[in-house]
Homo-oligomer: A and B are copies of this chain.
Amino acid sequence: MQVSRQRATLRLQDVATAAGVSIATASRSLSGAPGVSDTVAERVREVARQMGYVANVHARSLAAGTSRSVGLVVHEIGDPYFAEIASGVLRLGGEEGLTVQICHTGRDPDKELEQIRSLVAHRVGAIVIAGSGFVDPALQAAARQDLQAYREAGGRVAVIGRHHLGVDAVLPENTKGGRAIAEHVLALGHRRLAVATGSRGLTTIADRLAGVEEACTAAGVDFATVQVIEAEFTRAGGKIAAEQILAEHPDVTAILAMNDDMAIGILSVLRLQGIDVPGRISVTGFDDVAVAGDLAPSLTTIRLPMLTMGEHALELALKEPAARPRRRTAGHELVVRDSTGPPG
């Protein structure tokens, strides 16, 4: 990037001169600080507006040592799960007059660290990290350390859907949700299950799987007999998993996808192969992305309130830090639709 040099930009001094006041008065007027008569303040604001003055955020941040901006770290903004979380963060942020910097990590721990560093460099007031962390503590360590330093310097952090980072967290009920969806399928009478999942190295997935295992054990189904197929945590991964399940475990009567995206891929493969859902195979998702109810068959899944989770996380991050990390649970809800039924 050939970065742009901003020239000929109005400065606060220009406004002050035009309004016939000192730069300090102008500053106070525009920032709404006390100590200026209403008449003067109003006049300054009017002059500034007419001149089209826009304050330089960098100068302001540097002088004040604060900034009205927050960072949001997601794995992939094109993924509806994160897009909806981002929507919540952006909504509340916009309301609060905050600017939001969004970073992509592509589920790469190194990139995540890099993005966090960049946010710290920008002296954002708060950082919200959405998206699963890694089960391997070594991968967490560097990020954890950087965040710690950031917080000691007065920064605030909130995470969505990950623990072990020692900060305020919004926690979707992954384990309970995994349990609920598996219980639903088991209650329908299914006994030969397959699970389509992303990398088990992500805590979100580990938690959801744990819930599934709980339900199986409780129902007297040996979890070892459940076929767990690991693939990308995407629609494409769902397709691959579905093909593998059909080829290697043709007797399966229910496939539990660990997110909706995979479930969509699975449904698409089953449809292509003319396999009736839920007649021959039931399919479930997880998340309840916007489109889940509009698929055919509509998807039985666990609803997580993504938009609200985004808002809550930002809320936590903006609050005065508590003595110990707060945790805010985001409820889950089993949404039974047309993709599940009793085994044929």
A90 and B77 contacting across the interface, CB-CB below 8 Å: yes
- Bitwise interface map of A from 294 to 331 toward B, beta carbon under 8 Å scored 1, else 0: 11110000000001000000000011100000000000
Stoichiometry, copies per complex = 2
Q: Which residues of A from 88 to 111 have beta carbons under 8 Å from B?
A: 90-91, 94, 96, 98-104, 111
Neighbouring B residues of A99 by C-beta, 8 Å: 101, 103, 118-119, 122
Bound together, the chains give a CA A99 to CA B6 distance in angstroms of 18
A61 CB contacts on chain B under 8 angstroms: 58
Q: How many residues of A contact B (CB 8 A)?
A: 79
A108 to B297, CA, bound (A): 35
A135-168 with Cβ < 8 A to chain B: 146, 149, 152-156
A121 contacts B4, C-beta separation under 8 Å = no
CA–CA, A155 and B83, complex, Å:
28
**In terms of DSSP, what is the predominant structure of the interface of chain A?**
mixed
Complex Cα spacing A34 to B5, Å:
20
Q: Mark A54-95, 1 if CB is under 8 A from B, else 0.
A: 111111011011111100000011111001101100110010
Q: How far is the CB of A308 from chain B (nearest CB, A)?
A: 13
Q: Are B153 and A7 closer than 8 Å at their CB atoms?
A: yes
* Min C-beta distance of A19 to chain B, whole Å: 19
Tell me the smallest distance from the CB of A210 to a CB of chain B, in Å.
28
Within 8 Å of chain B (Cβ to Cβ): is A27? Answer: no
A72 closest partner in B (C-beta): B102
The answer to the question of A264 belonging to the interface, with a C-beta cut-off of 8 Å to chain B, is: yes
* Nearest-neighbor residue (CB-CB) of A59 within chain B: B62
Nearest residue in B to A76 (C-beta to C-beta)? Answer: B87
Q: Once bound together, how far apart are the Cα atoms of A100 and B57, in whole Å?
A: 15
| B6→A65 contact, CB < 8 A | yes
Given contacts A117-B54, A152-B8, A154-B4, whether A101 and B98 have CB atoms under 8 Å apart is no
Q: Are A90 and B102 in contact (CB under 8 A)?
A: yes
The closest CB in chain B to the CB of A152 belongs to B8
In the bound complex, how far is the Cα of B271 from the Cα of A68, in angstroms?
47
**CB atoms of B87 and A104 under 8 A apart:** yes
Distance from A181 Cβ to chain B, minimum over Cβ atoms (Å):
20
Which of B59, B294, B319 interacts with A295 by CB under 8 Å? B294
Can you report 26 A-B residue pairs in the complex whose CB atoms are below 8 A from each other?
A1-B126, A3-B64, A3-B125, A4-B153, A4-B156, A5-B65, A6-B123, A6-B154, A7-B65, A7-B154, A54-B117, A56-B121, A58-B58, A77-B87, A79-B83, A94-B104, A100-B101, A100-B102, A101-B101, A102-B102, A235-B294, A264-B294, A291-B291, A295-B296, A296-B296, A296-B297
Contacts from A to B (Cβ < 8 Å): 1-9, 52, 54-59, 61-62, 64-69, 76-80, 83-84, 86-87, 90-91, 94, 96, 98-104, 111, 115, 117-123, 125-126, 146, 149, 152-156, 235, 264-265, 267-268, 271, 290-291, 293-297, 307, 318-320
**Given pairs A90-B102, A268-B294, 10 additional interface contacts (CB within 8 A):** A1-B96, A1-B318, A2-B319, A5-B65, A9-B153, A57-B58, A101-B102, A264-B291, A265-B294, A291-B291
| CB-CB nearest 9 A-B residue pairs | A296-B296, A78-B87, A3-B66, A4-B154, A83-B83, A58-B61, A58-B58, A268-B294, A58-B62
